[in-house]
Amino acid sequence: MWMVTGGAGYIGSHIVRALLDDGQQVVVVDDLSTGLMSRVPTPAHLEVFSILDTKQLVTVMRQLKVTGVVHLAAKKAAGESVDEPVYYHYENTGGMISLLRAMEAAEVKRLVYSSSAAVYGEPVDDNPLTESSPTEPTNPYGSSKLIGEMMVRDAAPAIGLNWAALRYFNVAGCGADDLADTSAANLIPMVLRAHAAGKAPQIFGTDYPTPDGTCIRDYIHVVDLAEAHVAACRLVSGDLAAAGPAAEALAAAGDGSGRIEAVLNIGTGRGSSVREVIDSVGRAMGEPLVAEESPRRIGDPSIVQADPALAAEVLGWRSRKVLDDMTGSAVSGMGWLKENGYL
């Protein structure tokens, strides 16, 4: 039985479905502060409470015989984290402390942690970014994710934990219309909202040292991301035969205990500029979109792009979907977003 914290959210709901498709049993723990009950499919069991409730976590883990956790539950808006840093550390850092205490008490030994490319901060020379690139977060959200990785690494030897931290890059698209991204902060939803309101999409900065002058980011389809989680669950479960060629060496490394630990970038290795994303949305909508150009925003790096080679070696996983797949599925989900008041 896998516990998915935050499994009623945008990314979590895709992971829950991917695990169910893989034949796993799933329990979702979500406080529904941003998640939706409708996104938890019937085969999965839903428990509604905050992961800060350590005692309830232990109870659920024991009663349902949970053997592993996929931990996504967290606050994730970088800008908001700058305004409310204490709140972000209370929820994200405190949430990880609560989860690890519960896992220790319930003797749950497998963890897949939802980390973020935000741990890298603003890249200077490293592009594409590897897992050994400097980690210098520029906001409390990124700091909370990096602290989470540190806590897991510190706790793992003491509690015998197999773990993997997946550093997501820019997640986009959807696997079904009713799983569309409801976020107001991500680029593709921002373009869709502008179009629905009869406004031009915004480009912040057209003088970056990139081919078309706009920022470049590595976009990963949420379905590909969900499949990476399934592969990571197999890895930390010791199913090395189903993992990549580097999995055996990974298990033999470290402290000699045979425990598995991995930090992996989850991206495509291909960057897309803001202008390319807007053009792709226009193709999906069947009409060109004319963007409004505005000055740069403070702190936006020119290029943030993943080197996903290690994930391929360790997990036997590679992204399959391209930018047009992401924007096409996002546009397809516009009807559901409008019906439910998100557009």
Looking at the annotation, which residues are catalytic?
141
β-sheet with 110-116: strand ranges across: 45-47, 26-29, 2-5, 68-71, 110-116, 162-168, 261-266
Q: What is the DSSP string of 37-105?
A: GGGS-TTSEEE-S-TT-HHHHHHHHHHTT--EEEE--S---HHHHHH-HHHHIIIIIHHHHHHHHHHHH
Three-state DSSP at 110 gives strand
Which residues lie below 8 Å from residue 29, measured CB to CB, with a gap of 6+? 3, 4, 5, 6, 7, 47, 49, 51, 57, 60, 73
Question: Rounded distance, CA 61 to CA 203, Å?
Answer: 46
CB-neighbour burial class of residue 241 (10 A; exposed 0-12, middle 13-18, buried 19+): exposed
Q: Strand pairing of 110-116 and 68-71?
A: parallel
